[in-house]
Structure 1
């Protein structure tokens, strides 16, 4: 197939490893910079050496996170004060890449939490107030609100908005690079936002300029961030193979695609349409489709597997989604499942239901992590890679099976099963990012392995693979884990 160069948002597995796993499904390979050059948590990467690495790559195409190339990472783009010209000097490396460049940029988020784990330090005190202030500014812009009043001190407000204004200017420059042809594709992600927020206004302005510049499907804008690397890898595969998979979207809830998921500003149907275009797929009616993405619709409850884990989930929509998946599989369709029911983890009822008779193992792809945009993008990317590999004769069924199992472990076994239990045991405040001291890491990771193994043995979702025997905490917190699955030698 093809070898790609990837400059990821940071060193988290979903940004660094997932794109390579998606590529492997279609028989392709991904090169990434040396780990020392990549950002990790609040430690920035080395953008100047990353620019040198990108210039020197011999890969046939490149997928680039512009925040990493320009600032040293997504979090660095929120924390640093580097002026626009410095960032643009680093972006000049994009002109020196021999093959096509597929890039991503992110509209800066405004999280609704008093948590400075990934934000400037003042967020620990004024995070929620800044989120409310941001929403009021947007409403005032639309003529739907009074002039905002807030207790946030003026220096904090000014710093907050100056950072945003700089990043918005850079996002406008990214549009110019796409219009000029330096970028073959640009995805503008909306990271952790809401219907009313300054970031939502910025994102809509960028979408308007995309239309005015007549950039067509070369510039896509939709909710998401961490999944964009995988999505652009899929798009690169479609270009290399000369095949755009025809995908249908199915949802068991009549109004499901019109619902707005938590952390997002638009209905989920709008997000999936843009994600599909970004991944290089054509959305078609069921009769013309070669594959189907089933969406488990956002549920109208105030719950989240990371910040407010529910005791249980509603069995009725689970039963309808499971029945739809089984019907499509029985009719011979290639099926992927995007579980968007709740944020930050997969629906345990749905996973258990489909695992009971082996339907889960027959999926081409599965995702149910973090935001709906993250879930939809990674599920579509995997489905596209699967269909490209099939059409091109390079499909690696073993790689597809490993990626399916990997997402099940991450999205359900950890996020919606082990993590809530672990945090209750540790007395962790789920509304804030925690920190696991080095001295406690062995005990914490051993407990995670125990919980993952227990749940895997209950479900046995993918034959031939077992839960990991060891895990690590990439950023020394319980929010995410890294792991490698164990091969058991059984038949797939």
Structure 2
């Protein structure tokens, strides 16, 4: 297969290493810039250094997060004041480096939290008020008066000034797609809602996509962190000249019409755009090469990061598990997108599928963060598997590793170990925490024990385990972890 140059959103595992793991399933390789050029937390990357790296890189394709290339990362795009002209100069590297270029840009989020961990400092006092003001601004579009708010004028003006700069850059990205500099552009909607300034901006970008008649190469849907993996899948399908035919199945009659938390459109609409972004075709089940099963959003505000529930709906989990088993019995390649709750997989569904060995029969799995994150990464994995199978480059060990990795991350960590650890530490789940260096060794050791405990209970994929001492906290907080899986030699 091919070599792909990747400029990720930042150095988090889902942005930096997940795309490489997806590519490996099809026998392809991903190359990323040196760590000192990439952003880490609130520390921005080096956009000028990244532009030089990309311009000088030799590869068969490039996957580029435009926020990183232009501003030094996703969080940097919310904090830095670099003018539009400077960013566009850095984007000039897109025309000098590897081609084709598969790029992504993100509509800036407006989180509903008084938390400045990833936002300007004033978010610590005015975050929720700005979120509410954002919704009122969207609802007031087309009316002559601005809505009222208690947010001080200097802060709301700075909030909108930053958004305006980024919206202008997103419009410029559409222009690069129209000019042919970008083979594909994905416009992600990051942690948004039905009513929000970001949703209005996203809708305007979709309108311009239609007017410019570039809908064949510009896709817009909820998500952000998964786009690197999605565009790697796009590079794989293009290089192979093969567009997998994917069917979507859901055990709930209205499941695909539901709108997940943090998103502005139905999950079915998001899947259609995500599939197109990977280069796949959505077809009915009779004509499909493979099937994406969706465990649809459940009602309520429960969330494995901010409001962990005491339990989930056993009947809904049983219906999805039964559907998975039927498809596997038909000999179908199946990937499962668990979108029941935000920020983690449904323990009921995991227990059902691991109890009878059904999980081990899957081609791919995801159940992390937002529904867009989950759907995109599950689709990317399924597409990479199908491309590898058709071209003869399928790496079964890499596929198995990724299947195990996602179960450890999305359930064993997110919906099992993380709520327990945070309860033990007295962490406020509605705010990002910080683990001091002096406590890191104790915290990571505790995480490793929790992971091993739950992984042993599941016995889902014998032959894999978390390597001793490999757990780290990439951003010195308990929201996400990194770890290494090792082969144990057990028979699976």
2:57 corresponds to? 57
Matches for 1:209-224 after TM superposition, within 5 Å: 209-224=208-223
Correspondence 1:83 to 2:83: yes
- Tell me, yes or no, if the aligned pair for 2:62 and 2:98 is still in contact at 8 Å: no
Separation in 1 of the partners of 2:101 and 2:399? 26
8 Å contact from structure 1 (residues 107, 199) kept in 2: yes
Deviation at 1:142, TM superposition (A): 5.6
- Mapping 1:457-472, distance limit 5 Å: 457-470=456-469, 471-472=471-472
Match of 2:355 in 1: 356
User: Which SS does the other structure have where 1:482 is aligned?
Assistant: coil
The 5 Å alignment of 1:400-411 reads: 400-411=399-410
Match of 2:477 in 1: 477
Matches within 5 A, 1:193-342: 193-342=192-341
Unaligned runs of 5+ in 2: none
For residues 89-140 of structure 1, the C-alpha deviation after alignment (integer angstroms, 9 at most, x for no partner) is 1001101124200000000000000000000000000000000000000001
Distance of 1:217 and 1:354 partners within structure 2: 38
| Aligned residue in 2 for 1:9 | 9
CA contact (8 A) 2:408 2:451 kept: yes
Q: 1:156 & 1:442 partners in 2: Cα distance?
A: 39
Distance in 1 between residues matched to 2:292 and 2:123, nearest whole Å: 38
Deviation string, structure 1 residues 327-370 (Cα, Å, up to 9, x no partner): 00001100000000000000001001100111101100000000
* 2:125 matched residue in structure 1: 125
The residue that corresponds to 2:39 in the other structure is 39
Note if contact 2:102-2:182 (Cα within 8 Å) is conserved in structure 1: yes
Contact kept in structure 1, 2:105 and 2:187, CA below 8 Å: yes
Do the aligned partners of residues 413 and 195 (structure 1) sit closer, same or farther apart at CA in structure 2, a change above 3 Å counting? same
Between the aligned partners of 2:232 and 2:46, the Cα distance in structure 1 is: 23
What RMSD over aligned residues (CA atoms) do the two structures have, in Å? 0.9
Indicate the SS of the match to 1:217.
coil
In the alignment, the residues of structure 2 paired with residue 265 and residue 119 of structure 1 have an alpha-carbon distance, to the nearest angstrom, of: 21
- Ranges in structure 1 where 5+ consecutive residues have no aligned partner: none
Q: For residues 248 and 456 of structure 2, what CA distance do their matches in structure 1 show?
A: 32
Note if contact 2:5-2:98 (Cα within 8 Å) is conserved in structure 1.
no
Contact 1:190 1:222 in 2 (8 A): yes
- 1:117 aligns to what SS in structure 2? coil
Paired with 2:94 and 2:152, the residues of 1 have a C-alpha distance of 39
Q: Give aligned pairs, total.
A: 491
What CA distance in whole angstroms lies between the structure 2 residues aligned with 1:467 and 1:183? 39
CA distance in structure 2 between the aligned counterparts of 1:302 and 1:15, rounded to whole angstroms:
26
TM-score with structure 2 setting the length: 0.99
Do the aligned residues in 1 keep the contact of 2:104 with 2:188 (CA within 8 Å)? yes
How many Å separate the matches in 2 of 1:416 and 1:468?
20
- Residue 344 of structure 2 corresponds to 345
1:24 maps to which residue? 24
1:215 shift after superposition: 0.7
Structure 1 partner of 2:429: 430
Q: Give TM-score scaled by structure 1 length.
A: 0.99
Cα deviation for residue 466 of structure 1 reads 1.6
Q: Deviations over 1:276-323 (max 9, x none)?
A: 000111000000000000000000121000000000001010010000
The answer to whether the 8 Å contact 2:177/2:183 transfers is: yes
Contact 2:54 2:98 in 1 (8 A): no
Whether the aligned pair in 2 keeps the contact of 1:449 and 1:468 (CA below 8 Å) is no
Contact 1:453–1:468 (CA<8 Å) still a contact in 2? no
Query: Secondary structure of the equivalent of 1:390?
Result: helix
Task: Please say if residues 101 and 183 of structure 1, whose CA atoms lie closer than 8 Å, have aligned partners that are also in contact.
Answer: yes
Residue 217 of structure 1 and its aligned partner are, at CA, apart by 2.5
How many angstroms does 1:149 deviate by?
1.2
Further displaced range: 395-404 or 146-155? 146-155
Post-superposition Cα deviations, 1:205-262, rounded to whole Å, max 9, x if no partner, equal: 0001001111122000000000000000000000000100000000000000000000
**Which residue of 1 is the match for residue 445 of structure 2?**
446
Alpha-carbon distance between aligned partners in 1 of 2:18 and 2:418, rounded to the nearest angstrom: 20
C-alpha contact 2:466 2:483 (8 A) present in aligned 1:
no
CA offsets per residue over residues 149-202 of structure 1, 9 Å max, x none?
111000000000000000000000000000000000000000000000000000
3-state DSSP of counterpart to 2:216: helix
Task: Report the Cα distance in structure 2 between the residues aligned to 1:389 and 1:139, rounded to whole angstroms.
Answer: 46
